[in-house]
Amino acid sequence: MDADQNKTVLVTGGRGFIGREVTKLLQRAGYAVISLDAAALPSKAAHDRESGQEIACDIRDADQLQRFFEEERISGIVHLAAILPTVAQREPLLATQINVGGSIHLLEMATKFGVRRLVFGSSLSVYGTWAADHVVSEADRASPEDVYGAAKLYVERVGETHRDRHSLEFVSLRIGRVVGAGAQSATSAWRSQIFELLGTDQAVEIAVPYVGTERILLVHVDDVAKMLVALLRAAHLEHAIYNAPCESMVVADLKRDVEALNRNIHVKLGEENVSGNPRLLDSDRFQREFGFQVSSIVERLKGAAK
């Protein structure tokens, strides 16, 4: 999909952490973008193509979604709308209705209305827990351990069926823990705080739940947005599933790097071990095909501290 002012891209979950960055990148690349989100829109929400269009829509409502597709000609979709892991565990029915049911509605509409490509924001949680020294690739079995990961895997399977049986080009990006300012997460606040609090002149504490010897796969939100847009714009895709390049960081090293940038910050580590996600990742498939290298988290932190 080459950039074209006459091509309109739909970003579901467009008001979310990743969705906002994807929308910005697409607009800069010359696409008309419609941001779709179930969240209430501000009263002055724009509805012109220069500033971007925002639509309030619940993807659980197939009729509402169909009316939208009847009114708009969509050439590509970046699908990010989802209930996140902690809420999914607490409210599994809601998570299933949105993460699975809503996604299937979207796939059906994309097929029915001739959308060329759908890029799905999946998760490394589809793999489940692996040994600390095992480097997980797309060839490894997917064995999710929670509702969130199971939903992501199910949508991948349905998406691949649509890819095989219809003209829709479905592609999935399996994403690690996304960090950066502005996530507004109530359950994993540290992922944003390590960036947002770097300029503080007051003593603050950031709680990271993992033991210092653990490894976690981190990727900055800007890099995730670039990957998703690259998948959308590629003239040809060799695969239906890609691991998103991430950096495997030792938790104690993350603590040291953050505290070194601002002595007012104390990073308090917890006692949790990593579960439900890999610790090491093979992302050569994406890197080879797109020539992509993620930015170092340390360099990102240094840039945020300036």
Which residue of the set 148, 154, 210, 242 is catalytic?
Answer: 148
Residue 127 annotated in active site? no
Three-state secondary structure along the chain? CCCCCCCEEEEECCCCHHHHHHHHHHHHCCCEEEEEECCCCCCCCCEECCCEEEEECCCCCHHHHHHHHHHCCCCEEEECCCCCHHHHHHCHHHHHHHHHHHHHHHHHHHHHCCCCEEEEEEEHHHHCCCCCCCEECCCCCCCCCCHHHHHHHHHHHHHHHHHHHCCCEEEEEEECEEECCCCCCCCCCHHHHHHHCCCCCCCEEEEEEECCCCEEEEEEHHHHHHHHHHHHHCCCCCCCEEECCCEEEEHHHHHHHHHHHCCCEEEEEEEECCCCCCCEECCHHHHHHHCCCCCCHHHHHHHHHC
Catalytic residue IDs: 148
